[in-house]
Chain A
């Protein structure tokens, strides 16, 4: 039994070595390299701008941190501009870069349906890097959530029409 166990262990070790070598042979897809070398929309908006939503997310596995910001047209609810800043691997940078490209010109509700699998497919991300695309999806959602929270807060405070009524109601 021990011999079988040892053989199995050695077999597993071989398999692990094989997959390790394979992953060393894998290289970044040209789209990832392109986004890494020519990143689109790198930058920062003013966090306190009421039309800006900021999504800040992190991946504990690799210590990556991703910030994605959207600028929304208050009247139409359309995202007119987006920018990102990511500290992480090439796949994470490329994922957030793609995310900013894809959210521009879309409605807020629309971008919530962007899935990490679409980003991963677009960049041909290997399985080990799938969490980078997940990070980008979460960043988009966080940015939208932040914008809506800001709006809700402003709605409470900046309601000039009936502050007296509010006080009366409260």
Chain B
């Protein structure tokens, strides 16, 4: 075991040294994975192959991630650009500040981190749109159409993720569902519910919407729905803070119904 540790740390040092050398730039970062940790031969072989000829065959042999073997993870706490090797200067690391290359998606960065927000329900979403646009100025696929296929892929995935993050966080209901998902709680939407009092109330409201004659009546109902929603938002925020996940799920279910009524009202208007 100690032997292995010796090899892994040696490999790490070698990896870093090799990596920083300009000969080993594009395409090699992170794919330098070794099946046999105990021999240096992959590295020597790598040296001669780096000119680009047998890159395909070389990759095919590799199974394990360097991350798994190195005592210090190469990616993770110390992010590096795959293109120019510059260390990440800020979080989240979605695009390199130095060479502007779009980075591959790191799923461990959650949506709140993308927008630099605390993982709380009552986050300020006022300047979400401007942050979102700032990100797209760096990540949008249109900006990389002349770059490598790899970078175009990264840009497509990264910008799609930022779009998803933006829409998820900007709406209260989806934000709530997402927060529960981060805690591993899945809101089972397929299960039928039979809360007679609540459903009777919803039924009444939906009938009122159908029968409403003018926009004034509709606005009134809309106002009522918004009021109900806000009280359930508070409910959710409290339940979540206290880790009462069942109550949180109930809040989300209620919110879904009120949001639906709002949608129907908008359709009618």
A residues with CB within 8 A of B: 1-3, 6, 9-10, 13, 56-63, 65, 67, 85, 87, 131, 134-135, 138, 142
Contacts and interface: CB of A to CB of B under 8 A. Distances in A.
A138 B192 contact: yes
Q: Which 10 A-B pairs have the closest CB atoms?
A: A63-B260, A61-B189, A60-B253, A87-B206, A138-B192, A56-B199, A63-B257, A1-B65, A131-B190, A58-B193
Interface in B60-74: 62, 64-65
Chain B CB within 10 Å, residue with most, of A3, A57, A87, A135:
A87
Nearest to A7: B153
Contacts of A58: 192-195, 198-199, 202, 257
B30 interface: yes
Given A58-B202, A85-B203, A87-B203, A138 B194 contact: yes
Interface residues of B, number: 38
B190 A62 contact: no
Contact of B206 (A60, A61, A65, A142): A65
A59 B188 CA distance: 10
Contacts, number: 83
Interface of B: 30-31, 33, 59, 62, 64-65, 104-105, 150, 153-154, 156-157, 160, 187, 189-196, 198-200, 202-203, 206, 252-253, 256-257, 259-261, 264
A137 B176 CA distance: 30
B199 A2 contact: no
B198 to A, nearest CB: 8
Given A56-B194, A131-B190, A65 B199 contact: yes
Contacts of A1: 30-31, 33, 62, 64-65
A2 B30 contact: yes
A6 B198 CA distance: 45
B256 A60 contact: yes
Contacts of B190: 59, 61, 131, 134
A33 B150 CA distance: 47
Nearest to B75: A2
Contacts of A10: 153, 156-157
